[in-house]
Chain A
Amino acid sequence: VKKAFCIILCTVIIFILSGCNFSDVKKETDEEIIISSIGFDETEDQVYVYAEAIINKGKETESSTKLLKAKGETIEEAIFNLYSYALKPLYLNHCGLLVIGENLSSKNLKEIWKYLFNNKNITQAIEVVCTENSEKLLSLIPENEIAIGYEISYALSQISKNTGIEYRNRFYELESARNEQINSYAVPFIKISDKKPIIDGLQIYLEDEKALKTEQNEAVLYSIIRENYDNGNVLIGGKKYKIDILSVNYNFNYSDVLSIDITVKLKNGNIDILKNEFKNFIFNKKDLYGIGERIYKKDKKIWNKIKNNYDDVFEKSRINISVKA
């Protein structure tokens, strides 16, 4: 009897202490709406939030999608309205894409990160992209996948593989980079042409604010400088080139002015084309390339000298890039 009592008592304690049994964690599949992508945008004074929901068709085994839409004066209010409109809880853990509208880019993105990350609404990998109009992008009809969010998400990984430019930039990677005080990050910019999404360069953010939008050519150079480039075929000036990079070396020197020498060694590919492109490459006066992080990792002595007024030092710095075979 004692043994049985102990077992029952332990079971009850486990049930009570776990807090799982009656919590919101338990949901049947039909009690939630699976969201494949979520988008944020802004027009005039209103913030819009869009969610591409997967709708089950009942008897058929096929599914379709529906774009849920809500607005508010702040992001939080818009999200609250979206939940009210949806009636059922939104399930974001299988969300494949986060779309940031270009208009919203002028605002600080911290609020979005805060909602998605701090509320633990997303615990899986999710690709982040920027676009001219979030609603328009999420309204496109997918060709292969069930939802446009998944299609763009898979396309990003495929294009990254083919071009060598790291277009994939997952939400969690961005978040961890932000936590490690890496202030700049780049997300692919997607424009809509003939009702199809096309990747058009990178949108670069500095301290969660839009800092620069690169063209396709610059995206290659930008990726190489950030060491975010894998070997692949890239389009430069409308022509396709294969660039296989052996290494990217940094050399720092600091007396009065910070001197940064970047040497790109190619294994294969057209050196002249790349040299030519780098000649025209304009370095921004702000460190959008994460060079500060490289100085910190590779030359701590210099970093200690410049860390207190790094932004000023970088503004006056001299950057030299050479391409070698």
Chain B
Amino acid sequence: MAAGNIDYEKIEFSKSLDENLQIFKNIFKKDIILRIKPLVTAQGKFALLYMDGMVNVQMLNDSVVRPLVTVDTENKSDNSADYIMKQVLFASEIKKTTSASDALRSILYGDSLLLIEGSNELLIINSKGWRTRGISEPEDERILQGPREGFDEAALLNVALIRRKLLTPDFCVEMCRMGRRTDTIVFICYLDSLVNPELLKELKKRISKINIDGILDSNYIAEQIRDNHYSLFKTTGTTERPDIVAARLLEGRVALIVDGTPVVVTLPYLFSENFQSDEDYYLNFTVTTFGRILRYICFFLAISVPAVFVSLITFHKQLLPTSFLITVANLRNGVPFSSVIEAIVLILIFEILKETGVRMPQSLGHALSIVGGLVIGQAAVEAKIVSAPMLIAVALSGICGLMVPRLKGVVLYLRILLTLLSAFLGLYGYIIGLSILIIRIFSLTSFGIDYTISLSKVSYQNLKDTVWRSPWFSMKERPLFNRNIIRMGEIKEK
């Protein structure tokens, strides 16, 4: 641990309480949050150091201050750290250290330090007591049926939430610290018997290469460990739900829990996961299968509708039914812009309205939808700034895009790119764009595993949780990247 030019590893504590206190005062000379509580007891002189607001004061009083002041021990003159730790204090987790680096890490993470006169060893007392948001359902991952828990910003609590679902010693949690200045705790979780060791090795290798000032969210890590840094498609998954993380761990994936964010990264991430909804597995498979197929169709429509519409009305009018062409021509009559400009502007307006809706307070949401959707839309059509068919095409593609929220960024880019290609080359351009897209999707990898493994290595078992959701009793195999692909029962050899 280092900050600026100071290397804390080199600091050595002395046996003098005042000198040790002075070290901390120097380190935190510009930090008014540090609290120092001097204690003079029959046991000797002590100083309790903690960060205000991060500790459980009640617990500190009961299990540290009170015992030191009141406990009547046999050997009152022994004020060694070892003795105090084992014989005097009531706190559940105490450890001693001589490392300034460890001491600083602990005090900054909500632990308390007990400095003892005559000892160069410090006691680190687990007194974490910062306030958390609590376990609430994630706003972006609401479901109709199923567990309502959501992750919190505290990583330890998040690990506990997962562990509660995976009551097995097979569940492994490794810890590492990242960020030169933030020194953020990151937990790597996996099921030892399922995870692919090569994958784990690769993940650790990539994590070790990260050299960044601070980690404030899991995306800081996810962006740096991806296979394809510049790809529109993300190859690492994210979720705020412990049940989803548990389900992914049960499929042999690895989860990265970053302290300070409720968003947990899971990997590898496959293309088909973009179309899986959290509640696909909690509702009847007949219902969810329809929804999943609809999501694939909607993704296709979301990227294609404006592009195809533009190419049809500018290049390939003969493909349109006569009555429809006449209607379109009529409604477009008087619109000053070309259809491609109209489409791009409408796509951007739709995105602006969407972004505004996401960022603004809920109470203003209805007003925005009325003003944005109805008033501006209708007024623009009546004023002949845009035509109604184009508005319908863009709105349809926009709504279809909302069906696949995990691909929202991708959909926007692809929609614009395909529209531009179609505007220049007609359906020829659209087909070229679509072909490049398909080739690109099939060439992506997530930690060395094909992004489309379940689609490219086609087998009935693979497709059972890809294009549709089969009933649980028939999903006997896990995804192909597992060490052990048998999920249930015996698989008959084909």
In the complex, the answer to whether A26 meets B332 with C-beta atoms within 8 Å is no
User: For residue B382, which residue of chain A has the nearest CB?
Assistant: A59
Task: Tell me whether B326 is interfacial, beta carbon within 8 Å.
Answer: yes
In this assembly, does A282 line the interface, its C-beta being within 8 Å of a C-beta of chain B?
no
Q: Which of A28, A34, A124 contacts B326 (CB 8 A)?
A: A34
Q: For B338, what are the chain A residues with a Cβ–Cβ distance below 8 Å?
A: 28
B428 lies within 8 A of A58 (CB): no
> Please, which residues of chain A bring their CB within 8 A of the CB of B318?
93-94, 123-124
Q: Judging by beta carbons under 8 Å apart, are B334 and A25 in contact?
A: no
Known: A28-B339, A29-B317, A91-B317. A20 touches B424 (CB 8 A): yes
- Which chain B positions have C-beta within 8 A of A63? 326, 329-330
Q: How far does the alpha carbon of A146 sit from the alpha carbon of B324 in the complex, in Å?
A: 12
Contact between A20 and B330 (Cβ–Cβ < 8 Å)? no
Q: How far is the CA of A86 from the CA of B398 in the complex (A)?
A: 39
CB distance from A228 to the nearest CB of B (A): 26
Partner of A54 from B326, B339, B429 at Cβ < 8 Å: B326
B385 at interface (Cβ–Cβ under 8 A)? no
- Out of B323, B329, B332, B426, name the residue touching A20 (CB < 8 Å): B426
Please, which residues of chain B bring their CB within 8 A of the CB of A96? Answer: 322
Hey, which chain A residues are within 8 Å of B315, CB to CB? 20, 25-26
Q: Is the Cβ of A15 less than 8 Å from the Cβ of B424?
A: yes
Contact with B along A36-63 (1 / 0, CB 8 A): 1000000000000000001011111111
Does B97 sit within 8 A of A, measured CB to CB?
Answer: no
Assembled-state Cα–Cα distance A57/B325 (Å):
15
A65-92 CB contact bits vs B (8 Å, 1 = yes)?
0000000000000000000000000010
Given known A14-B425, A27-B314, contact A34–B333 (CB-CB < 8 A): no
Which residues of chain B come closer than 8 Å to A268, judged between CB atoms? none
B328 sits at the interface (CB 8 A): yes
Q: What does the 1/0 interface line of B414-448 toward A look like (CB < 8 Å)?
A: 00000000001110110010000000000000000
Q: Give chain B nearest CB distance to A85 CB in angstroms.
A: 20
B327 on interface, CB distance cutoff 8 Å: yes
Q: Does B294 contact A (CB under 8 A)?
A: no
Query: In the complex, A132→B28 CA distance in Å?
Result: 105
Instruction: Specify which chain A residues have a CB less than 8 angstroms from the CB of B428 in the assembled complex.
Output: 18, 20
B314 closest partner in A (C-beta): A26
Question: Is A21 at the interface (CB under 8 A from chain B)?
Answer: yes
Q: How many residues of B contact A (CB 8 A)?
A: 27
How far, in whole Å, are A33 and B302 apart by their CA atoms in the complex?
A: 31
A302-322 Cβ-contact flags toward B at 8 Å (1 or 0):
000000000000000000000
CB-defined contacts of B329 to chain A, threshold 8 Å: 29-30, 34, 54, 56, 63
Give 1 or 0 for each of A82-118: 1 = CB within 8 Å of chain B CB.
0000000001011010000000000000000000000
**Docked CA distance A142–B460 (Å):** 57
A150 contacts partner chain B, Cβ-Cβ < 8 Å: yes
Name B292-346 residues within 8 Å CB distance of A. Answer: 313-315, 317-318, 322-323, 325-335, 338-339
Kindly provide the distance from the CB of B207 to the nearest chain A CB, expressed in whole angstroms: 26
> Given the complex of chains A and B, what is the CA–CA distance between A61 and B327 in angstroms?
7
A123 to B384, CA, bound (A): 32
Least CB distance, A114 to chain B, in whole angstroms = 21
Neighbour of B432 across the interface among A14, A27, A60, CB < 8 A: A14
Q: Kindly list chain A residues whose C-beta atoms are within 8 Å of the C-beta of B331.
A: 61
- Asked if B322 and A59 make an inter-chain contact with CB atoms under 8 angstroms apart, the answer reads no
Complex Cα spacing A18 to B424, Å: 10
Given contacts A26-B314, A28-B313, contact A59 B432 (CB under 8 A): no
Do A58 and B317 form a contact, CB below 8 Å, given A26-B426, A150-B322? no
Q: Count residues on chain A whose CB falls below 8 Å from chain B CBs.
A: 30
A150 to B322, CA, bound (A): 9
Asked if residues B330 and A57 are in contact (CB atoms below 8 Å), the reply is yes
Residues of B within 8 A of A21 (CB): 424-425
A17 CB, nearest partner CB in chain B, Å: 11
| Bound Cα distance A34, B324 (Å) | 12
Rounded to whole angstroms, the CA-CA distance of A20 and B426 in the bound complex is 8
Q: Identify B314's interface contact among A28, A61, A150, CB under 8 A.
A: A28
Question: Please, how many angstroms separate the alpha-carbon atoms of A21 and B424 in the complex?
Answer: 5
Which B257-304 residues have C-beta < 8 A from chain A?
none
- In the bound assembly, the distance between CA atoms of A93 and B319 in angstroms comes to 9
CB distance from A149 to the nearest CB of B (A): 10
Complex CA gap A54/B326 in Å reads 8
A56 to B332, CA, bound (A): 9
Chain B nearest Cβ from A122, distance in angstroms: 9
Chain B positions within 8 Å of A93 at CB level: 317-318
Chain A nearest Cβ from B86, distance in angstroms: 63
Among A15, A30, A57, A60, the one with the most B-chain Cβ atoms within 10 Å of its Cβ is A30
B residues 388-433 touching A (CB-CB < 8 Å): 424-426, 428-429, 432
| Nearest CB in chain B: distance from A25 CB, A | 6
User: Can you name the residue of chain A whose Cβ is closest to the Cβ of B333?
Assistant: A56
In this complex, the member of B322, B326, B334 whose beta carbon has the largest number of chain A beta carbons within 10 angstroms is B322
B162 to chain A, nearest CB (A): 39
Q: How far is the CA of A40 from the CA of B429 in the complex (A)?
A: 38
Q: In the docked arrangement, what's the CA distance between A59 and B318, Å?
A: 25
Q: Which residues of A contact B429 (CB under 8 A)?
A: 18, 20
| Distance to closest chain A CB from B378 (angstroms) | 14
Q: Kindly provide the distance from the CB of A151 to the nearest chain B CB, expressed in whole angstroms.
A: 12
Residues on B with C-beta less than 8 A from A61 are 327, 330-331
Residues of chain B within 8 A of A146, CB atoms compared: 323, 326
Residues 165-187 of chain A, each 1 if its beta carbon lies under 8 Å from chain B, else 0: 00000000000000000000000
Q: CA–CA, A112 to B335, complex, Å?
A: 36
Give the residue name and chain of the B residue nearest to A122 (CB): B318
Cα–Cα, bound, A275→B93 (Å): 113
Q: Hey, which chain B residues are within 8 Å of A94, CB to CB?
A: 317-318, 322, 325
What is the minimal beta-carbon distance from A116 to any residue of chain B, in angstroms?
14
Give the complex CA separation of A54 and B328 in angstroms.
12
Say yes or no: A29-B426 contact (C-beta < 8 A), given A56-B330, A93-B317.
Answer: no
Q: Could you list 15 examples of A-B contacts with CB < 8 Å?
A: A15-B425, A20-B315, A20-B424, A20-B429, A28-B338, A29-B317, A29-B325, A29-B329, A29-B332, A30-B333, A54-B326, A58-B334, A59-B384, A61-B331, A63-B326
Top 4 nearest A-B pairs (CB, nearest first) are A93-B318, A29-B329, A56-B333, A56-B330
List chain B positions with a Cβ less than 8 A from chain A. 313-315, 317-318, 322-323, 325-335, 338-339, 384, 424-426, 428-429, 432
In the complex, besides A18-B425, A28-B339, 19 extra interface pairs with C-beta distance below 8 angstroms are A20-B424, A21-B424, A27-B314, A28-B332, A28-B338, A29-B328, A29-B333, A30-B332, A57-B333, A61-B331, A63-B326, A63-B329, A91-B317, A93-B317, A94-B318, A94-B322, A123-B318, A146-B323, A146-B326
